[in-house]
Structure 1
Amino acid sequence: MRVGRLLPVGLISAATLAHEVLLMRLFSIIQWHHFAYMIISIALLGFGASGTFLALAHRPLVDRYPAAFAASAALFSTTAVASVAGAERLPFNALEIIWNPGQLGWLAASYALLVLPFFFGATCIGLAFIRHPGQIGRVYAFDLVGAGIGALGTVGLLFLVPPPAALYFVAALGFAAAALAATDMARHRWLAVGSLGLAALLIAVWLPPSWTAPGPHMSQYKGLRMALEVPNARVVEERSSPLGLLTVVESPTVPFRYAPGLSLANTQEPPAQLAVFTDGDSITTITAYGGDPTTVAYLDRTTAALPYRLLKRPRVLILGVGGGEQVLLALRAGADTVDAVELNPQMIELAGNRFADFAGGIFSRPNVHLHLAEARAFAAATGERYDLIQMPLLDSFSAAAAGVQTMHENYTYTLEALRDYLAVLRPGGIIAVTRWLRAPPRDILKLFATATAALEADGVAEAGQHLALIRSWNTATLLVARSAFTGEDVAAIRGFAAENFFDISWAPGISSADVNRYNQLDQEYLYEGALALLSPERADFIERYKFDIAPATDDRPYFFDFFRWRALPELLTLRTQGGAAMLDWGYLILATTLVQAAILSAVLILLPLWLRRRALGRGVHRLRFGLYFLSLGLAFLFIEIAFIQRFVLFLGHPLYAVAVVLAGFLAFAGLGSAVAARWMAVVGRGSAVRGIALAVVVIACLATTYLLSLPLVFERLLALPDAAKIAIALLLIAPLAIFMGMPFPLGLGHVGACSEAFIPWAWGINGCASVLSAILAVLLAMHIGFTGVVVIATILYLVAPALLAGSWDPYDQQTPQGFVPDRDRARVEPASGNPIRLEVGSSAKQAQAAEVLNGVGHRHEVMPLFATGDGKSPFPRINPAPHASST
């Protein structure tokens, strides 16, 4: 088969994955990340729906394969743009779901619209599997390699154009796939190609840009939308990248006055500010500065200023610089040098270049150094030592209160992270972490527990002597010192708190009489929590607390996951009294998404079983085949997701980890699929189970080896240049991914030989399993860590061959050529001159047979064969010519 015939498969696969990435970015802007995750996860069940549809109605489509593929690809492109335009205009408000059941209807409408492009894209790929049953390995290879290119290409594209504009590139890929497929049509091919080109041109030229612009349709509860409601407020700059949409807003009528943790005793008016919103919500500010330190004296009255009372001319490291507020504070406090680390290059461009004059050129000062890096990677690679590591507050209060970061892995606040930061402190150095204050407290108590564990892991006997905690009316700042605080330090803390009306929640030597003086609470939760976390009853306190405040680790890096099931009934009963604000929505949304996906997946998987049970053969085979593909779908994504998270620390950037690991897994798995295709051609389909068994044993060995060795490898190689680390990452991924790409095509060829009807059904099961595994992997990682997720994946891989063992019969072992016709519809017999005559019952099967026999070098004659009235072939067995069986 010509490679060109499979190019449309690669193109539509690239377009489909690119569309998934774009939807996540678009709906993270329009709603919030966790709601976007739920909507898109359910939409991806379009793959499962496609498999069900093809299992029930594939014959007429396969008979008209080029036209059906072209039509599906064109519909993918059309719905990719139209579904987004429609879904973002629905009056869906995610925050109202818990008290407004009517929102569930709009949520269902979002699902119905967004599922369409995935359904049509998956239909194209499913048709290719059915149309080329003897080339399943090659089809799957093009599918995976195309998806890898789509993932990597979309990340690069999002640095050049915003997500709405990138939708047009996705649509263009779909139309290109349709045009290529249409060139294989028997009749009217150029008319079809011309029509597709005209349709693409009309969409590109006539579709109003506002149809795909996310700004006007952003949730009204996001900070950006509310800021723009102020008279004369306007957007002055906008930058987009895969890391987020940065929007700079100016408000001359009602100026921004953003200073988290500012004392109620402050009397100075802050200078003019520009607000910078990330994805319309998380906010930082760029403050006007003319070089006079007195104009920013108000920063001395924030909780983040506390460490400067204890340190003289410190060497400062700021992890997450944002708009530069903490740089201003450090300069005002007389810092000797400031190393400012920022993850987002667009933020550096805005604060350090575009608005540099407005900000007084603070990043151009000789003692200020701006670094584009991830916090952990910088701390591990730097050879410098610091007196102060400042971790400022960059997320919005509304995001923290809603729990929208629950599903986000965060390696900045893990136990291992704090140990890394302590290691780069000078003697007497301090880590300062500021977080929003929530009632009951969560973030800050979890940080306190993590800091206590980190100090004890470093050999500190009395961790309480190294900790101090103060709070304002809305923030709390925790100090973690490498050396014990002295009496002079504690006196300075007391003085700072008294001057600014801050409450001390913990410091060495304080008592209950020293707390809850200014910003009074009904109960001093932080002080009581600190006492409990420093006592021998720490484990019991953590277990009994209403929220999960156990330290996050690199294996379970979900710092913002505070949810506990046992607290849910109580919080729901308090819903009308404000209890809804205490719910961490991220976890609930994830669990709800899993339930929805499981129910819909069960329907999509079981429907073909019921309607086509005769075509799918014996019940025991159906069950085992279904479980096999379900296991593969779960296991593949479990390992892929776990490795993406593992490589975040090594590659130093979440974006690099997603792009490199995802593209690497898909591309090398595609290579593994090509190897599987060669295996079937040389060894024969009857050996598929042996090939699967070999592959999964290697997968299990490699996965176990990586679990044990990767942390050490990363630690030793972390200081290498980025290019070298990317190359090493690909080399590490390659062997595992190659073998992970083999079980699916081998299994699909195996079950397809038993009955052609199994191919679309298996494709649908794989699609459903992929959606379930993406959700399950995160939920499991929150509870048992990524190591546990990989162990489960390994077990699933190891049981897979047993599910297929014994499902083969002697009939199937006689046709190693790569094409096994339906046993009730064909026969192969030698003819004069030693060609093979293959008699089949449909034009599609004639074309398939000719394709395969050409591929193995046979002269052939294809003739129609009509089944008897009872549907059984008059030829009960296939008897290939002797020379054919050895080909």
Structure 2
Amino acid sequence: MPRPPLFALALLSAAALGYEILLMRLLSIIQWHHFAYMMISVALLGYGAAGALVALAQRTLIRHFVPAFAGGALLFGVGAMTCFALAQHVAFNPLEILWEPSQPLRLLLLYMLLFVPFFCAATSVCLCFSRFSEQVHRIYSFDILGAGLGCLGIIVALFLLSPVNALRLVSTAGMAAAALASVECRWHRPWLPALLLSAAIVPAGVPGDWIALRPSEYKELSQTLRIGNARVVAERSSPLGLVTVVESPSIPLRHAPGLSLNASLEPPPQLAVFTDGDGLSALNRYDGGRESLAYLGDLTSALPYHLLRGPKVLVLGSGAGADVLQAIYHRASAVDAVELNPQVIELVQGRFGAFSGKPYSAAGVHVFAGEARGFLAASMERYDLIQVALLDSFSTSSAGLYALSESYLYTVEAFQGYLRHLRPGGLLAITRWVTLPPRDIPKLFATAVAAMEAAGIPAPSRRLALVRGWKTATLVVKNGEFDAADLAALQEFCRTRSFDVEYFPGIQPGQANRYNVLDKPYFFDAAQALLGRERDQFLTHYKFDVRPATDDRPYFFHFFKWRTLPELLSLKAQGGLPLLEWGYPVLVATLLQATAAALLLIGVPLWILRRRAGRLPAMEPGGHGAAVAQRLPAWRVGFYFLAVGVGFMFVEIAFIQKFILFLSHPLYAVAVVLCAFLCFAGLGSRLGSRYLQRMPARAGDNRGRRQAALAVSGICVASLVYLVALPTVFRLLIALPDPARIAISVLLIAPLAFLMGMPFPLGLARVAASDETLVPWAWGINACASVVAAVLATLVAIHVGFTAVVLVALLLYAAAALACP
């Protein structure tokens, strides 16, 4: 009898989860985030399909356990690289999916290719549970501990390796797991481990051209590289993004978002800096003289400098440094610049320092690598001007490609934090693209009003100003009321540059929409409605969702309303589809696809298993057959694992979001929280089984159900305490150094994750004791539930917030405890 290949299982689980996270990065580079999200969600149904396969072919696979396990791991290693390489050759363009009939078929082909590696890995994992069902707790602990370490490992690998080389590493890990399994199980063919280990070296020799990244031709980087002689001059990679610098000697780059049409001076020579092929940021040539920067005074974002003199400035999201140069040009007394990606800072200051003039080391300038909200929360400084840079590209924003991206820069709580760090009379300035019909700007305006009202600030209408150019608009919020001198300077700034004043205190209808004329004064009307008594009516009846975003619902770029969909589809022939926020319908489509596939993968195996059981003679309890099926109802097993799978994923996703602000970095939140959840859940499974064995037996009582009830009670209590206490804890401790906050996060997560690791193996052990044929089926249900839950959690959060996601999860856990087999 072979031993369970526990270390091979852990390595394979680490490789599979690492591949999942890596694919999100790879697909975000070659496509866009929400399509990557959709493809991965559907591909992960390979786990559910593996459960169905093992349930139906259980006897054959168990009889050949070692070759089946090693074969699945080997095929995962081969498929991880091969399937991704093939997927890149599928000519799929997500922007044509509604009007090009071949695009859905190409998307289906992508699903099938990405499905294969997950299916292979999951088959080996599920088979391990079926073959050693008496050791469910032990196997589950190695499985989930390996997954947690794989999550952390791939993040570390992406700091050290390019995404393509990280793919080689994942592929090698899968093949190495096959070799390790044959050693652990002491298979009788001594030459096989050496052969498999040799195969694990193959990914390192795969030519780079075979797996080189091929971004969509519709991304900004691809479009820029079509310019004659344009070429990539530098590239840096990390989990924060693939940073690419492009120069165009033949046709000079001129990136000046919203530059006044009255401007007489052009920008200096520039280099284009892209992140994941999008989000263009201009790197200006700067020789220390102000003359070459004159164009920066003719942008809508220059307005605050005409209302202040020598301000102390904070730039959030400084990128390649254009906003810092704007502050230098306007003689700011001091500039603090915050940039999330330190590799961008290194390129500006190091690799291209001679070209850029090193703006981050200019007199009075200080640069900080970090997340904007975290920097402010830990800072005691106050500023005359806080400027939120224009961080995304117009094409991506206007196509609704950020609709599923959380942003904590534009929430009500973020605005309140900005205002607290302003000196009396200081200004908050946020620049966004002009999209028509208006979406970003009304939502930004509504968020500013809601933030001031929630903070008890009187008369928000006297503290707001909004100006619009032909391409960008800038919202200014003052820590105090605008006076006559401010308003005169504002109107003079706009008049000389032909910018439209859309709102200032006391504005009259005829003063808006004068230069860049629209058929209606949309922005003026929206501002008046949001400051008037009809605000709720306006928010309800407006064709896009412009309700303020909050930290609990941080989806600022979600504008989609179902009632607007028929009108947008009817305008297809007139070019109305670009007004459709693609992210949300794609998410709903993903949920429907995943749910339909999950029901199929759950229902078909159960039907076949029940037909087989019906042809077998009745057996005593403890055996297999109809009597057993009657004693352990399938609906109860199915509901239990469905509830536990959805509940676990809901809690995990919600707390990743809640820790983003405390850890001041989305990358740290994903790595720390996900790794801690999985590792401590694995420990909970292992130690929970030992505690179960020591629990005193009671007449008519089931120890497994008692422990499940205790674990669920602990999960509910801990989650509710965290929901109440975490905001206060975060506020008190956020100024601590990064290592201390990471350690505190792990300690906070540990008790909840430890308890969450118990319900699944407890239920699976009970199923294994009663009817082993249902073990892979139950495992598959849990896998399908996790896939559906990942999509459903985002939908719930968009509408009612992450707190509601946690509360729904607790209800599911409570229901699972009642249905415990």
Kindly indicate whether the alpha-carbon contact (under 8 Å) linking 1:66 and 1:184 is maintained by their aligned counterparts in 2. Answer: no
Does 2:710 align with 1:694? yes
Deviation for aligned residue 1:188 = 4.6
Q: Structure 2: how far apart are the matches of 1:511 and 1:563? A: 31
Deviation for aligned residue 1:185 = 5.4
> One-letter code of the match for 1:75?
L
The residue number in structure 1 matching 2:737 is 721
Q: RMSD across aligned C-alpha pairs, in angstroms? A: 1.4
Does 2:462 align with 1:465? yes
Kindly indicate whether the alpha-carbon contact (under 8 Å) linking 2:43 and 2:111 is maintained by their aligned counterparts in 1. Answer: yes
Q: Structure 2: how far apart are the matches of 1:778 and 1:133? A: 34
Q: Structure 2: how far apart are the matches of 1:468 and 1:2? A: 74
Deviation for aligned residue 1:388 = 0.1
**Which of 670, 673, 694 is matched with 1:658 structurally?**
670
Does 2:239 align with 1:242? yes
Kindly indicate whether the alpha-carbon contact (under 8 Å) linking 1:67 and 1:181 is maintained by their aligned counterparts in 2. Answer: no
Does 2:553 align with 1:556? yes
The residue number in structure 1 matching 2:513 is 516
> One-letter code of the match for 2:209?
S
Deviation for aligned residue 1:501 = 0.5
Q: Structure 2: how far apart are the matches of 1:437 and 1:348? A: 28
Structure 2: where are the runs of 5+ without partners?
A: 614-624
The residue number in structure 2 matching 1:760 is 776
Kindly indicate whether the alpha-carbon contact (under 8 Å) linking 2:723 and 2:803 is maintained by their aligned counterparts in 1. Answer: yes
Q: Structure 2: how far apart are the matches of 1:404 and 1:28? A: 11
Does 2:307 align with 1:295? no
After superposition, residues 626-645 of structure 1 pair within 5 angstroms as 626-645=638-657
After superposition, residues 559-708 of structure 1 pair within 5 angstroms as 559-613=556-610, 614=613, 617-618=629-630, 621-683=633-695, 686-708=702-724
After superposition, residues 453-492 of structure 1 pair within 5 angstroms as 453-492=450-489
Q: Structure 1: how far apart are the matches of 2:84 and 2:761? A: 33
Does 2:388 align with 1:391? yes
Does 2:213 align with 1:232? no
The residue number in structure 2 matching 1:119 is 119
Deviation for aligned residue 1:4 = 7.9
The residue number in structure 2 matching 1:450 is 447
The residue number in structure 2 matching 1:839 is none
Q: Structure 2: how far apart are the matches of 1:480 and 1:2? A: 69
List per-residue Cα deviations over 1:715-768 (Å, max 9, x = no partner): 111111111111110111000000000000000001111110111001111111
Q: Secondary structure at the match of 2:519?
A: coil
List per-residue Cα deviations over 1:477-535 (Å, max 9, x = no partner): 00000110001101111000000010000011111111111100001110000000000
Deviation for aligned residue 1:198 = 3.2
Instruction: Return 393-402 or 11-20, whichever deviates more.
Output: 393-402
Q: Structure 2: how far apart are the matches of 1:59 and 1:397? A: 57
The residue number in structure 2 matching 1:271 is 268
The residue number in structure 2 matching 1:776 is 792
Q: Structure 1: how far apart are the matches of 2:631 and 2:41? A: 30
Kindly indicate whether the alpha-carbon contact (under 8 Å) linking 2:176 and 2:200 is maintained by their aligned counterparts in 1. Answer: no
Q: Secondary structure at the match of 2:229?
A: coil
Deviation for aligned residue 1:5 = 3.1
> One-letter code of the match for 1:374?
E
Kindly indicate whether the alpha-carbon contact (under 8 Å) linking 1:635 and 1:794 is maintained by their aligned counterparts in 2. Answer: yes
The residue number in structure 1 matching 2:537 is 540
Change (3 A) 1:145 1:496: same
Kindly indicate whether the alpha-carbon contact (under 8 Å) linking 2:500 and 2:514 is maintained by their aligned counterparts in 1. Answer: yes
The residue number in structure 2 matching 1:158 is 158
Q: Structure 1: how far apart are the matches of 2:189 and 2:591? A: 44
**Which of 322, 325, 328 is matched with 1:328 structurally?**
325
Change (3 A) 1:321 1:668: same
The residue number in structure 1 matching 2:764 is 748
> One-letter code of the match for 1:58?
Q
Kindly indicate whether the alpha-carbon contact (under 8 Å) linking 1:70 and 1:178 is maintained by their aligned counterparts in 2. Answer: yes
Kindly indicate whether the alpha-carbon contact (under 8 Å) linking 2:134 and 2:769 is maintained by their aligned counterparts in 1. Answer: no
Deviation for aligned residue 1:103 = 0.6
The residue number in structure 2 matching 1:209 is 208
Q: Structure 1: how far apart are the matches of 2:209 and 2:95? A: 25
**Which of 428, 437, 442 is matched with 1:440 structurally?**
437
Does 2:359 align with 1:343? no
Deviation for aligned residue 1:455 = 1.4
Q: Secondary structure at the match of 1:318?
A: strand
Q: Structure 2: how far apart are the matches of 1:618 and 1:29? A: 51
Change (3 A) 1:2 1:285: farther
The residue number in structure 1 matching 2:218 is 221
Kindly indicate whether the alpha-carbon contact (under 8 Å) linking 2:682 and 2:754 is maintained by their aligned counterparts in 1. Answer: yes
Q: Highest Rg: 1 or 2?
A: 1
Change (3 A) 1:619 1:582: farther
**Which of 398, 402, 427 is matched with 2:399 structurally?**
402
Deviation for aligned residue 1:368 = 0.3
Kindly indicate whether the alpha-carbon contact (under 8 Å) linking 1:183 and 1:189 is maintained by their aligned counterparts in 2. Answer: no
Q: Structure 2: how far apart are the matches of 1:451 and 1:29? A: 33
Kindly indicate whether the alpha-carbon contact (under 8 Å) linking 2:4 and 2:132 is maintained by their aligned counterparts in 1. Answer: no
Deviation for aligned residue 1:459 = 2.2
List per-residue Cα deviations over 1:323-360 (Å, max 9, x = no partner): 00011110010100000001111111111222122111
Aligned residues: 802
Change (3 A) 1:495 1:187: closer
**Which of 793, 797, 800 is matched with 2:813 structurally?**
797
Does 2:27 align with 1:27? yes
Kindly indicate whether the alpha-carbon contact (under 8 Å) linking 2:646 and 2:789 is maintained by their aligned counterparts in 1. Answer: yes
Kindly indicate whether the alpha-carbon contact (under 8 Å) linking 2:2 and 2:185 is maintained by their aligned counterparts in 1. Answer: no
Deviation for aligned residue 1:460 = 2.4
Kindly indicate whether the alpha-carbon contact (under 8 Å) linking 1:128 and 1:139 is maintained by their aligned counterparts in 2. Answer: yes
Deviation for aligned residue 1:779 = 0.5
Q: Secondary structure at the match of 2:216?
A: coil
List per-residue Cα deviations over 1:675-725 (Å, max 9, x = no partner): 222134444894111110110001000111111111111111111111111
Change (3 A) 1:86 1:742: same
Q: Structure 1: how far apart are the matches of 2:530 and 2:184? A: 70
Kindly indicate whether the alpha-carbon contact (under 8 Å) linking 1:286 and 1:323 is maintained by their aligned counterparts in 2. Answer: yes
After superposition, residues 99-114 of structure 1 pair within 5 angstroms as 99-114=99-114
Structure 1: where are the runs of 5+ without partners?
A: 808-887
After superposition, residues 297-316 of structure 1 pair within 5 angstroms as 297-316=294-313
Deviation for aligned residue 1:409 = 1.0
Q: Structure 1: how far apart are the matches of 2:457 and 2:703? A: 60
The residue number in structure 2 matching 1:861 is none
Kindly indicate whether the alpha-carbon contact (under 8 Å) linking 2:650 and 2:793 is maintained by their aligned counterparts in 1. Answer: yes
Deviation for aligned residue 1:314 = 0.1
Kindly indicate whether the alpha-carbon contact (under 8 Å) linking 1:471 and 1:503 is maintained by their aligned counterparts in 2. Answer: yes
TM-score normalized with structure 2 length: 0.96
> One-letter code of the match for 1:42?
V
Kindly indicate whether the alpha-carbon contact (under 8 Å) linking 1:26 and 1:163 is maintained by their aligned counterparts in 2. Answer: yes
Q: Structure 1: how far apart are the matches of 2:441 and 2:162? A: 36
Kindly indicate whether the alpha-carbon contact (under 8 Å) linking 2:4 and 2:185 is maintained by their aligned counterparts in 1. Answer: no
The residue number in structure 2 matching 1:83 is 83
> One-letter code of the match for 1:643?
F
> One-letter code of the match for 2:366?
H
Q: Structure 1: how far apart are the matches of 2:89 and 2:672? A: 34
Q: Structure 1: how far apart are the matches of 2:570 and 2:763? A: 50
Change (3 A) 1:408 1:3: farther
